[in-house]
Amino acid sequence: MIFYVACAVAAWLFLVGVYGIATSDNLVHLVLCLVVVQASTYVLLSAVGYRHGGVAPVFADVTQTQTTVDSVVQALMLTDIVVEATVVALLLAITVQIKKRTGIVDPNNVNLLRG
Amino acid sequence: MKFPLRQLLFFVGAIGMAILYALAFAHLPGPEGLRSMYRDVINLQTVEQRHITDAITAVNFDYRGFDTLGEEFILFVSVMGALVLLREEKDQGGEKVPDAAWPARSVPPGDALRVWTLWMTGPVVLFGIYIVVHGQLTPGGGFQGGVILATAPLLIYIAENLEVFKRITSHEWIEIAEAIGAGGYALIGLIAFFYSKPFLTNVIPLGPGGTNINVLSGGMVPLIDLTVGLEVAAGFVVLLYAFLQEMLVKQGDQ
Amino acid sequence: MNDAAITVLQVMTLVLVAATGAAVVFTRQPAHQMVGVSFFGLILALMFLLFQAADVALSQIVIGAVALPLMVMLALGKIRRQSIEQDKKEHGE
C-alpha cells in the first residue's frame, strides 16, 4: 500500500516541478524547481527498493538472516544525488553568464540570438 | 506565449500524463512482483565474498564499480565546465572589486561567530576523514566524506574574509589533487590487468573477515574510497573558489 | 506492531514531502526559495531514513542541504553584484 502512496507523491512532485519550470519568471527559480523534479525520482526509487519490514543493508549491526531492503537501487539513488548537484552547479554557472552578457534573468525575455 | 495560455497547455499535458501514469501502474505486477533474485543474492554475499559490511558501498565500488567511475567523471567534467563558464574575460574594465560575491562587507563577523566556526573546522575535517575511511563498514564512503571535507575551507571563509580563503585554496595543489583523485580510480582499475582479470576486478588481498572486519578489509574498496574522497573534496573547493572569485583587475596585465 | 508504526510514519513523511515540494515551487523569490530547498532536502533525508536507506540519507543531507543552497547563494550574490554594477554603469553614462 505504501508503494502506491509513494508513486502518487512522485507523480505529484513531478507535475508541480514542471509547472514551476513552465511558468517561471526568474532563472534561479527555474533551477530550484528542477531540484523538485529530480526529487520525484528519489521518492519512486526508494519505494521500489523498500521491502515490508526490512532494515538497512548495513551488516555491521544487522545479521544476515534478517530481511533487508534492496541495495542496488540505493546505489542508483546515490549516483542520482551526485548528478543533481553537478547539474545545478552547471546551470547556475550558465545563469551567471547570461546575466553578465544580457543583464536579464527572466527566461521569457532572454533572447540570446540577438546581435 | 502569454501566461494563461501556457498554464492551460500545461494542465492539458498534466492530466494526460496523470492518466497514463495511473494506467501504467495499474498494469504493473505490484510491489511483490518487482522482486528480483539479484539483490537478495548480493545482500547475502557481501560479507563472505568481499569482507565488506556496507552493502551499498560494495555495490557502488565493487560489484558495479564501472558505473561509479563514470559518475566520478561526470563530477569532474561538470566542475571543469562550471570553471570554464565562470572564467573571467581578459578585456573587461579595470575595476578591482575586493569581494565579488557580496557588496562591500561593511559589518565584520562577530566574535562569537568567529570563535565557533574556527573551532569547528578541526572536528569537521576529522569527521570528513572518518566518513571517507570507514566507507566500507558503516554508511558513508568517498562522495559523502569528500563533500564534508570541502565545507571546512568554507567555514574559514565565513569567519575571516576572502583573502584568507584564497591563501588556503588558491594553490595549484588543489587542482593537482583533483586530477590525482580522478585518474587514480582508473589507474587502480588497471591493477587487475596484471592478474589477467577484467578491468576493476578486486584482486588485492581482502584483509580480515568474519567478525574482525576493520578498515583494511575489502581489497580495493578502501583505496577507491580515498581517491574518490580526494577528488570530490578538491572538486568542490575549486568550484566554490570559482564562484567566489574576484573580478578581473588591470587591462594591460597579461 | 513495529511495522504499522513505521508505515504510519512513512505516509506522514510522504505527505510532508509533497507539501514542501509545492511550497518550494510556489515561492517566487530565489533568496526565500533557497531556505525552502534546504528544508526540503532535510525532509527528503528523513524520508530516506524511514525507507531504510542510510547511505542515501547521509548523501542527501550533505549535498542537498549544505552544498546546493551554498552554490545557489553564491550565484545569487554574484547576480546581485552584477546588477548593481550594471545599474551604476547605466546611471553613470
Binned at pLDDT 50, 70 and 90, residue B88 comes out as low
Torsion of CA C29, C32, C34, C37, to 10 degrees: -100
Torsion of CA A98, A102, A104, A106, to 10 degrees: -60
What total number of domains does chain B contain? 1
What pLDDT is stored for residue C93 in this prediction? 61
Q: Angle CA(B114)–CA(B118)–CA(B119) in degrees, nearest 5?
A: 115
What pLDDT is stored for residue C25 in this prediction? 94
Cα separation, C80 vs C72, in Å, equals: 12
**Adjacent-strand bridge partners of C26:** none
Interface test with C, best of B147, B237, B240 (most C CBs within 10 A): B147
Residue with cell 557502488: B60
Chain mean pLDDT for chain B: 80
Q: Which residues of B touch A57 (CB under 8 A)?
A: 43, 54-56
Is the Cα dihedral B94, B99, B102, B108 positive or negative? negative
pLDDT at B98 over 90: no
A57 belongs to a structural domain:
no
Is the Cα dihedral A15, A21, A23, A24 positive or negative? positive
C79 vs B: CB within 8 A: no
Query: Is the Cβ pair C53, A35 closer than 8 Å?
Result: no
Q: Which pLDDT tens digit goes with each residue over B188-235?
A: 888 888 888 778 888 777 777 777 777 778 788 888 999 999 999 999
A22 belongs to a structural domain:
yes
Cα separation, A104 vs B234, in Å, equals: 32
Q: Which residues of B touch C75 (CB under 8 A)?
A: 243
Binned at pLDDT 50, 70 and 90, residue B254 comes out as very low
A115 belongs to a structural domain:
no
Q: Write the DSSP symbol of residue A26.
A: S
What pLDDT is stored for residue B1 in this prediction? 53
Give the domain range for residue B194: 5-253
A61 belongs to a structural domain:
no
What pLDDT is stored for residue C42 in this prediction? 94
What total number of domains does chain A contain? 1
What integer is the mean pLDDT of B60-68? 87
ipTM, 2 decimals?
0.88
Give the domain range for residue A87: 2-52+67-102
What integer is the mean pLDDT of C59-78? 88
What pLDDT is stored for residue C58 in this prediction? 92
A77 belongs to a structural domain:
yes
CB-based contact B146:B184 (threshold 8 Å): no
Chain A CA closest to residue B20: A11
CATH classification of the domain holding A22: 1.10.287.3510
Q: Which residues of B touch A96 (CB under 8 A)?
A: 85-86
**Adjacent-strand bridge partners of A58:** B54
Residue with cell 506522514: C12
Distance from CA of A115 to the nearest CA of B (A): 19
What integer is the mean pLDDT of B10-37? 84
Distance from CA of A113 to the nearest CA of C (A): 21
What integer is the mean pLDDT of C14-41? 93
Q: Which residues of C touch A84 (CB under 8 A)?
A: 63-64, 68
